[in-house]
Amino acid sequence: MSVEFLEESCSGEDRTATLPIGGLSYVQGYTKFRLINKTVGRCLDVTAEKFPDREALIVVHENIRLTFAQLKEEVDKAAAGLLSIGLRKGDRLGMWGPNSYAWVLLQLATAQAGIILVSVNPAYQAMELEYALKKVGCKALAFPKQFKTQQYYNILKHICPELEKAPPGFLRSQRLPDLTTVISVDTPMPGTLLLDDVVAAGSKEQNMAELRHAKLFLSCHDPVNIQFTSVGCKALAFPKQFKTQQYYNILKHICPELEKAPPGFLRSQRLPDLTTVISVDTPMPGTLLLDDVVAAGSKEQNMAELRHAKLFLSCHDPVNIQFTSGTTGSPKGATLSHYNIVNNANIIGERMKLHLKTPEESRVILPTPLYHCLGSVGGTMVSMMHGVTLILSSPIFDGKKALEAVSKERGSFLYGTPTMFVDILNQPDFSSYDISTMRGGVIAGSPAPPEVIRAIINKLNAKELVVAYGTTENSPVTFMSFPEDTEEQKSQSVGRIMPHTEAQIVNMELGTMAELNTPGELWIRGYCVMLGYWGEPQKTEEVIGQDKWYRTGDIATMDEQGFCKIVGRSKDMIIRGGENIYPTELEDFLHTHPQVQEVQVVGVKDDRMGEEVCACILLKSGEKSTPEEIKAFCKGKIAHFKIPRYIVFVTTYPLTISGKVQKFKLREQMERHLNL
């Protein structure tokens, strides 16, 4: 048990603390233990001291295996290396690419040095990437050269043509003026730093000393991550490509200056904050190679700088920016602190009883993306807090690879969205895999059909499965079932309130607390609520009141035992296979098509994905088009998962008396039209 973190386990009394009082939909989680006032880096230090020889991270597709002691050593070198190339506390570094060792390394190294990690969706194309990097003012960007057809370097070069001729670390981009440093995590490319070199630089005592100094000024309340829901990145990290996603080319499209920029010194017009682009795999023009960054961290000078930097870190400092979206559909950067994610991860592990498991019983298979909170907090951070082994089964979700990892790596817990679990359960050779070590898992991201819950518990042998609910803005988990809850409780609810968290369901017409079993909007309050949307105080105030309640926008009910059920959304957000898609954003894009007069986007039901995207298009008078032509227009301009599966050409929309489109009626019409 992680005794330094908790004075006592919350598991025993946690259940009774969740009961509503007075027939109203309000609960407060168990509070009879102290929250943790430590930074992410300090938590890793403690776990590495306690379990130095225990396996910490296995990346199956890269054949990488590290103990906690080895991982901490590499993280320290990478953190010192990042300081050695000019990044400082509060700077933003974007990580752009699929699941990889480099992703975890930079997630932890940025936190160790007080740099804010910006989680960039690996499917982003040039337009989306430029918006995200500008919003947060990224100074550095890290990525692999490519993954499958996704050419990361070429995408960036499209934005920053200066990259190709820029000295690594010295990009000057017209479109991305903040971006100076591009880091390749795998392959040297013009204008980039190599991640290996960054880590190597961290080995120098001068850089380590800088890291030690920086850590002195870190607080657990500092922002540690910005999750896109938008932020001014100073740095961006990514592989060169993934499948058809050409990460470098997408960024180059936004920052044409990238190609000629010295690595770490990008000057982009469209992304003025972005100065550093890090390749996690391939040297590319204008980028630093991640290996070189890590190598720089080996120097004592750089290690000394790291030690100095750590002196100024606080657990209340920001550590991550994750992009999400509000009712307007425009992406916003949810800013999370060390305090947010350290405590959420610790409490997730407690609820799952991971702290009571042996090393053999706590091997977590993670096929979910690290750029989402479920992966970065529920996966990486839970591992760092509780000393469990984290196993990345594939760069992107692959049901077969997940089963192979369970079988070959003796996995005991499996994470996924309902869509992922459906794919895993329906593998044609499912019976050939050894799943005897399976004990449980986490299902989250969208509502799960009862039959899927039952199949996971019985067919996958995941008796200790827990259902989780949360939002990026809440770090993310606020409700979760207990491992010992019944199948019915798990299939009919998202569990009970988490410790140190309050929840109420509000009757939006009356503005009062709803009675039990009565639908209303779910509000959350507690340590888990984000610091705010990066650079958008007004939008923050729209969702977090002076009373500190966060308004989720989700419609829920609560029963007499405190079980919460999500019954709908007040927002029109579509959840496709765990990916959040915001209709307004997609509608705005489709409106740029020259033949489109009006468009309304709705989610329609789908047995496999939960929901699929349906675009209902009204063409301009005299114009003609086809679904194939509309999809071709989308390809390469928006993320693949946002491209509508269904394109329906309409002549009218169902309207209210005041002329507003009734989307619920439009959805019903489309499901009938499509025979769904």
- Residue 64: inside a domain, yes or no? no
Give residue 487's identity as a one-letter amino acid code: E
Q: Are residues 651 and 510 in the same domain?
A: no
**Residue 413 is part of which domain span?**
340-564
User: How confident is the model at residue 35, as a pLDDT?
Assistant: 96
- Residue 61: inside a domain, yes or no? no
- Residue 446: inside a domain, yes or no? yes
**Phi and psi at residue 25, to the nearest 5°:** -85, 70
d(CA 433, CA 429): 8
User: How confident is the model at residue 231, as a pLDDT?
Assistant: 62
d(CA 99, CA 214): 28
Q: Which of 414, 246, 351 is nearest to 30 (CA)?
A: 351
Give residue 490's identity as a one-letter amino acid code: K
Q: Are residues 405 and 554 in the same domain?
A: yes
User: Which of 339, 364, 383 lies at the terminal end of a domain, its last residue?
Assistant: 339
For the chain, helix (H) and strand (E) counts, in that order, are 20, 39
Neighbours of 11 (CB within 10 A): 18
Q: Are residues 210 and 198 in the same domain?
A: yes
Neighbours of 512 (CB within 10 A): 12
Q: What is the pLDDT of residues 116-127, one digit of tens each?
A: 999 999 989 999
Count of residues in the chain = 676
**Phi and psi at residue 6, to the nearest 5°:** -125, 140
User: Which of 309, 339, 369 lies at the terminal end of a domain, its last residue?
Assistant: 339
User: How confident is the model at residue 327, as a pLDDT?
Assistant: 34
E strand map for 266-330: 276-279, 286-298, 301-302, 306-307, 310-316, 318-325
Q: Higher model confidence: residue 584 or residue 591? A: 591
Q: Which of 576, 578, 553 is nearest to 566 (CA)?
A: 553
Q: Are residues 345 and 457 in the same domain?
A: yes
Q: Which of 170, 127, 197, 196 is nearest to 285 (CA)?
A: 170
For the domain that residue 458 is a member of, what is the CATH number? 3.40.50.12780
The answer to whether the CB of 201 falls within 8 A of the CB of 87 is no
Q: Are residues 95 and 124 in the same domain?
A: yes
Tokens of 341: 């994610």
Q: Are residues 394 and 293 in the same domain?
A: no
- Note the pTM of the prediction, 2 decimals: 0.82
- Residue 569: inside a domain, yes or no? no
Residue tagged 């013009």 (tokens): 190
Q: Are residues 124 and 270 in the same domain?
A: yes
User: How confident is the model at residue 330, as a pLDDT?
Assistant: 65
- Residue 478: inside a domain, yes or no? yes
Q: Are residues 241 and 99 in the same domain?
A: yes
The answer to whether the CB of 239 falls within 8 A of the CB of 278 is no
Alpha-helix residue ranges (DSSP H) falling in 215-254: 247-254
Strands 363-366 and 413-416, bridge-based pairing: parallel
In sign, the C-alpha dihedral spanning 617, 619, 620, 621 is: negative
- Residue 20: inside a domain, yes or no? no
Neighbours of 375 (CB within 10 A): 23
- Residue 4: inside a domain, yes or no? no
Q: What is the pLDDT of residues 320-350, one digit of tens each?
A: 999 885 434 567 899 999 999 999 999 999 9
- Residue 458: inside a domain, yes or no? yes
The answer to whether the CB of 39 falls within 8 A of the CB of 111 is yes
For the domain that residue 669 is a member of, what is the CATH number? 3.30.300.30
Instruction: Write out the DSSP string of 135-154.
Output: HHT-SEEEE-BBBEEEEHHH
Instruction: Write out the DSSP string of 478-515.
Output: EEE--TTS-HHHHHH---EEPTTEEEEEEETTTTEEPB
User: How confident is the model at residue 233, as a pLDDT?
Assistant: 78
Q: Which of 64, 106, 103 is nearest to 85 (CA)?
A: 106
User: Who contacts 62 (Cβ-Cβ below 8 Å, separation ≥6)?
Assistant: 100, 101
User: Which of 286, 305, 339 lies at the terminal end of a domain, its last residue?
Assistant: 339
Q: Are residues 394 and 297 in the same domain?
A: no
Quick one: 631 exposed, middle or buried, by C-beta within 10 A (0-12, 13-18, 19+)? middle
Q: Are residues 346 and 335 in the same domain?
A: no
Q: What is the pLDDT of residues 250-307, one digit of tens each?
A: 898 898 898 888 888 888 988 988 888 888 777 777 778 888 888 888 889 899 999 9
The answer to whether the CB of 116 falls within 8 A of the CB of 260 is no
Residue 17 pLDDT > 70? no
E strand map for 338-433: 363-366, 389-392, 413-416
3-state secondary structure of 416: strand
Q: Are residues 165 and 116 in the same domain?
A: yes
Task: Write down the mean pLDDT value for the chain.
Answer: 90
Count of structural domains within the chain: 3
Residue 491 pLDDT > 80? yes
Q: Are residues 201 and 224 in the same domain?
A: yes
Q: What is the pLDDT of residues 572-588, one digit of tens each?
A: 778 899 887 878 788 88
Tokens of 550: 């966060």
**To which H or E segment does residue 156 belong?**
helix 152-159
3-state secondary structure of 237: strand
The answer to whether the CB of 337 falls within 8 A of the CB of 319 is yes
The answer to whether the CB of 585 falls within 8 A of the CB of 655 is no
Q: Which of 149, 66, 71, 60 is nearest to 106 (CA)?
A: 71
User: How confident is the model at residue 305, as a pLDDT?
Assistant: 92
